Chain A
């Protein structure tokens, strides 16, 4: 079954903890992206990667980290340095040089 799998669907974190959100794809897409969505707002880019072992900061990278060791996987770590991490996190992929991006179903992170 082809697609983008984000896990977990819901995640709860205590203040001061790091958590890692998973994004796996079997579409053979080169580019992968992480976006953050807050209630009533659009999507803001956190990090993106166009090839394995390379990634770039987006507009709101502070407090987040990523890795791209495999083409299929682009995990996002929300560190304790992120002061307001409660949000809906979306992973997306696209072929390069194609322009459309396709999204996973998201992970809702809540700090408790």
Chain B
């Protein structure tokens, strides 16, 4: 079974530029998550999708971050414009449902450096 795919693996941009990350979840997984992990901290949930609908985006900085999951499969996360404090690893995860006892499967992440 193929795991969660993410690209790119690394990205370096200047502040105020825009950037986009892509995620392809495990086949058949209805729930997709985007996390931000700052160095030395645990992952922080940015947005959660159930199929192509948003379940939770309470911690997404909506003035600069956006995400979509068209057709309920792969997803993109965009930052526009980027700030220095956006430097982090962006993790995508998926699970089979939004049910109570599901484990999440994580992709390798995209390491973003904002200069």
Q: Do A and B come from one complex?
A: no
Which residues in B have some Cβ–Cβ distance to A below 8 Å?
none
